[in-house]
Structure 1
Amino acid sequence: MPTTKLTRRNVSGLLPAAKPVTFFDTDLRGFGLRIMPSGARSWILEYRPGAGGRGVAKKRVKIGGEEMTPEAARDAAADILAGIRKGADPAAERRTERAAETIDEIAAAYMARHIETKRKASTAGYYRILLNTHISPALGSKRAVLVTRADVERWHSKLATRPDGKGGKTTANRALTLLSAMFNWAGTAGLIPDGTNPCSKIEKFAEQAKERFLTQEELARLGAALQEAETVGLPHAPSESKHAPKGKNRTIFSPHVTGAIRLLMLSGCRLREVLHLRWSEYDAQRGVLFLPDSKTGKKTVVLSAAAQEVLSALPRVGTYVIASNDPDRPRHDLKKPWAALSKHAGLEDVRLHDLRHTFASVGAAAGMSLPVIGGLLGHADAGTTLRYAHLQTDPVRAAADVIAGRISEAMNGKRTEPGGTVR
């Protein structure tokens, strides 16, 4: 093999030949410049792994392309040789990296072997949305072992500020949590080296909790809108009136629609728990619901007298309490009727889930304990109920009144005895 001192001046004079040729450096053993017949150049290093010796076959690793200067390539080669002397085998490591699974391949295995067998279908569906919309387009084709913390941080930040409105801080945090769980699972499953999670130590964005509670006046407006909707009907919007049948400018709502919304307000249940409720899960004698598969697992809901009245008034049509067009299938959602009702009641900033928040807030404001409220809502984690702690104002206000009252009396020259008597 030809040898020369690989300096800028010498390298510029080396020309391609009919076959690939490698010029090795005279100073650093194994370091060379490979020139292809096309003229393409690359810096390489040949070495014998392990203890070395002529009995060990040589290996070759590419350092970089012709954009590297001879000095930079030489320094990189020296660093690689230092690692080889400590037992590294860069060629084997790169083969492993090339053969390693991509993020998409790990995601497919994670979903099939872990999520779909151990999580609810709704959870798996949400994860697929995060994967298909946010993770796969940005990182899916990358080899998992080559993804760095910097890669994940850049992706996380871009997703939080995505201009098309499909991202946001909350979405970015949920996607990061999923990606981190995938890496942890892949390490445990042996798909990547265990403990190599580039998502670790990446700080999530602060999220603003959405807390919207209906006031007494707003509840009254919603109640009036529900009564109007199921009796005379709600008036059509101007754009809808043009297409409405002649003489019919109002839409009367099904009792199952209005009943569903009343149940959400009066029970504190989640939307899916109400829409998927079967008549067989309602014990009218004891006034409870036995939900076999809520978000937090098997759950018993104690119903108020008002909620039981709603259930008693509902026509029994098919399997589900809230009937759909198919008596054997649950209603999919309440988006359209809720949009019309909330608009008519002047509550366009209120989500259906806020009815559950309102149920809890009324209990907290009435002085009920957080464990009791958490039990009514079916919270698996007591910390989840803490969001309503600041609404427990009555006991706090009573204490404030006592303390401030005594201070005021003392300032006015009155003396309070230990038993509370003022003199």
Structure 2
Amino acid sequence: MARIQPRNGKTRTTYTATVRVKGQPSISRTFDTKGEAKSWAAEVERQIRMGRYQDVRPAENLTFADALSQYLARVSTTKRPNSESRDKISAKALIAGFGSDISLAAINPQRLAEYRDKRIQTVSPSTFQKEFALVSHLFNVARREWGLPVDNPVPQVRRPKVDNNRTRFLTKEEAQRLLDVAKTSRNTKLYPYLLLLMHTGMRPSEAAGLQWGDVDLDGRLVKLQVTKTDMRYVPLTEMAENVLRSIRPKEAQMETYVFLPHSSKEARKVLDIPCNHFKRSFGTARKKAGLDDLHLHDLRHTAASHLLMAGVDIRTLAEILGHKTMQMVQRYTHLLNDHKLKAVDRINSLGLE
């Protein structure tokens, strides 16, 4: 049975609805109008009698900021270092956007849409998508693992499309120009690092975070243990093997980093995103080489594209790059139109005298 009780304040009157059903704890909520109080009470009483009512008070008493903090401590710490770092950045932006006082239950599609419209003016769609992905997983974890009565509002909100089809790759001449400049860099590890990226297709942080214990120079293999997907082995070209051998210390320890500073304190600064160690030196090198539009990740595209042009099959390429789906590798094939034209030109005289 429901009871509506008016409460007279200094500036306005509110209405507290209390629902009591035999065998169930009483539930109360305050509204601005009597009509809202009656409607809420009737709906709650109906859901209780049908066994469908979920008490939202735990979610109302938990702030969105506290929920994010719990997620970072309980979920993000189980992820790869790069993903954990990304979660921290996204959480900071979300708390700044929504404030520290709003409850988890108050995060609805309307508020998310407002955040989207404002946020997308200052960040890329990719950055925004990562933030919404965090919110979505937070709600799923809160419901399934924390027992909170919340529904995920993210699927109901339209999200900007992310263009992941950027596949800039270097020609042989451009690659040579970049490497020649890298040899003159004050960062003596820049040249072997860039060459390794071009010759293996490793992700920038996979290569930058290598330890000598991961590198088998005699077998020409690198074991990648910390990756975006699963552990994998990456073969080395003879040139990549030679350049790594040239920088390997005589008494290299298994846990010694190949490229990062030997000082554990200095290395710790960039361990979340190891490729940041080369951010400044790479920026200088690409500018001197006249390749201002080049990103570090484009060297991965470069390796993939040239492997394809050399006749490597798609499935083998996917294994080298660590792609779980063939769709990710197919993105490179459209870059090879000129290569395909040269291939079909070989039968240009077929059927002709």
TM-score, reference length from structure 2: 0.81
Contact 1:103 1:136 in 2 (8 A): no
Unaligned segments of structure 2, at least 5 residues? none
Written as runs of structure 1 = structure 2, the 5 A alignment for 1:267-306 is 267-306=200-239
The alpha carbon displacement at 1:254 in A equals 4.7
The alpha carbon displacement at 1:300 in A equals 0.7
Unaligned segments of structure 1, at least 5 residues? 1-28, 65-72, 230-251, 407-419
The aligned residue for residue 96 of structure 1 is 57
2:244 paired residue among 302, 306, 311: 311
The aligned residue for residue 94 of structure 2 is 134
The alpha carbon displacement at 1:204 in A equals 2.2
The answer to whether residue 332 in structure 2 is matched with residue 393 in structure 1 is no
Pick closer, same or farther for the CA change 1:211–1:310 going to 2, 3 Å.
same
1:224 paired residue among 177, 180, 188: 180
Contact 2:80 2:227 in 1 (8 A): no
The answer to whether residue 132 in structure 2 is matched with residue 176 in structure 1 is yes
Using CA pairs under 8 Å that are at least 6 residues apart, name the structure with larger relative contact order, 1 or 2: 2
Structure 1 CA distance, aligned partners of 2:187 and 2:232?
28
Written as runs of structure 1 = structure 2, the 5 A alignment for 1:347-386 is 347-386=291-330
Structure 2 CA distance, aligned partners of 1:395 and 1:347?
23
The answer to whether residue 111 in structure 2 is matched with residue 160 in structure 1 is no
Contact 1:225 1:344 in 2 (8 A): yes
Larger radius of gyration: 1
Encode CA deviations 1:163-199: one digit per residue, 9 max, x unaligned: xxxx2211111100110000000001234216x1111
Contact 1:277 1:320 in 2 (8 A): yes
The aligned residue for residue 198 of structure 1 is 153
Encode CA deviations 1:210-255: one digit per residue, 9 max, x unaligned: 322112331232133234x1xxxxxxxxxxxxxxxxxxxxxx5354
Contact 2:200 2:303 in 1 (8 A): yes
Query: Taking every aligned residue pair, what percent have the same amino acid on both sides?
Result: 23
Pick closer, same or farther for the CA change 1:145–1:170 going to 2, 3 Å.
same
The answer to whether residue 53 in structure 2 is matched with residue 120 in structure 1 is no
The alpha carbon displacement at 1:157 in A equals 2.3
Pick closer, same or farther for the CA change 1:400–1:346 going to 2, 3 Å.
same
The aligned residue for residue 21 of structure 1 is none
The aligned residue for residue 30 of structure 2 is 62
TM-score, reference length from structure 1: 0.69
- Corresponding letter in the other structure for 2:189: H
Output the aligned Cα RMSD: 3.5
Structure 1 CA distance, aligned partners of 2:249 and 2:265?
12
The answer to whether residue 69 in structure 2 is matched with residue 108 in structure 1 is yes
Pick closer, same or farther for the CA change 1:61–1:106 going to 2, 3 Å.
closer
Q: The residue matched to 2:244 in structure 1 has which SS?
A: helix
Number of residue pairs matched by the alignment:
337
Encode CA deviations 1:60-113: one digit per residue, 9 max, x unaligned: 75331xxxxxxxx45435534543663669xx9898268531212222222222
Structure 2 CA distance, aligned partners of 1:356 and 1:110?
32
Structure 2 CA distance, aligned partners of 1:297 and 1:376?
12
Say which structure is richer in helix: 2
Pick closer, same or farther for the CA change 1:197–1:343 going to 2, 3 Å.
same
The aligned residue for residue 256 of structure 1 is 189
Encode CA deviations 1:279-324: one digit per residue, 9 max, x unaligned: 2322222211122323323221111112112122225174232363
Encode CA deviations 1:101-160: one digit per residue, 9 max, x unaligned: 1212222222222221x2123321210111012345415422112221111121122211
